[in-house]
Amino acid sequence: MSAHVLDNPIWHSLISRHLDLAQRHEPAARYPAQIAPFLGVASVPADAAEALSGAFAALVPPEDTALLLGVPPPATPGWELRHLANLAQMVCAAPVAGETDPDGIVELGPDQREDVLALTALVYPHYFRPRTMELGRYFGFYREGRLAAMAGERMGTHDYIELSAICTHPDFLGLGYARRLLLFLANDNHARGRIPFLHVSRENPRAIGLYERNGFELRRDIPFWALRRSAAAD
């Protein structure tokens, strides 16, 4: 039985929806570092270490760390693969009933980029880069002249779309902004024929509860990995 595309979401995103952004060196591909730290590997046999080593060397500079989701590649000499966590991968299989009125929701673009980077640096650090907004659409609420909450689209294929950067400024918690953005994006993507999914840390039960109450169900726990050159190779 062939694996589901969501079992290897980074790779399948880079060979489909984000093909034009991919830096590719068979049998691997990655996003440019200014967009995202993610790298994907095709399904390869255990004896593909030499090909993988060459691909990793071409795609991951000595000072860089790439992040992977799903089944890890086979052991590759000169490279350290460290398991970071198991994330909850959740899917919204059908449109969700609820408040999806777009009133007050604004699409975020280049003019709002500095506001987006300031909010994500505060509450969503590490994964949001200067060019991350090129991955999809981003939306938010402004209150008191500040970006109070946001959510957007990240990885995906032509049939699935990952919702990401769902976050609220600490000064505006409890006002329902994240929920409205989540429902708006989930239902809008269903209307476009795409199934929303997302990844969330098992150490964030508050967020998991929000997603469960709003149409998302656990698909699987998916391992999250960091790849860097081994100390001996540095």
88 vs 201: CA distance, rounded Å: 6
Residues sharing a CB contact under 8 Å with residue 204, sequence separation 6 or more, in sequence order: none
Neighbours of 136 (CB within 10 A): 20
Residues sharing a CB contact under 8 Å with residue 230, sequence separation 6 or more, in sequence order: 78, 79, 80
Q: What is the pLDDT of residue 1?
A: 45
**Could you tell me if 86 and 223 are in contact, meaning their C-beta atoms sit under 8 angstroms apart?**
yes
Distance of CA 24 to the CA centre of its chain: 19
3-state secondary structure of 211: helix
121 vs 100: CA distance, rounded Å: 27
187 vs 182: CA distance, rounded Å: 9
Backbone torsion region of residue 126, taken as left when φ is above 0, otherwise alpha when ψ lies between -120 and 50, otherwise beta: left
3-state secondary structure of 50: helix
Reading the chain (234 residues) residue by residue, the pLDDT tens digits are 458 999 999 999 999 999 999 999 999 999 999 999 999 999 877 778 888 999 999 999 999 999 999 988 888 889 999 999 999 999 999 999 876 667 899 999 999 999 999 999 999 888 899 999 999 999 999 999 999 999 999 999 999 999 999 999 999 999 999 999 999 999 999 999 999 999 999 999 999 999 999 999 999 999 999 999 987 655
Backbone torsion region of residue 20, taken as left when φ is above 0, otherwise alpha when ψ lies between -120 and 50, otherwise beta: alpha
The reply to whether omega before 27 is within 30° of 0 (cis) is yes
Q: What is the pLDDT of residue 99?
A: 64
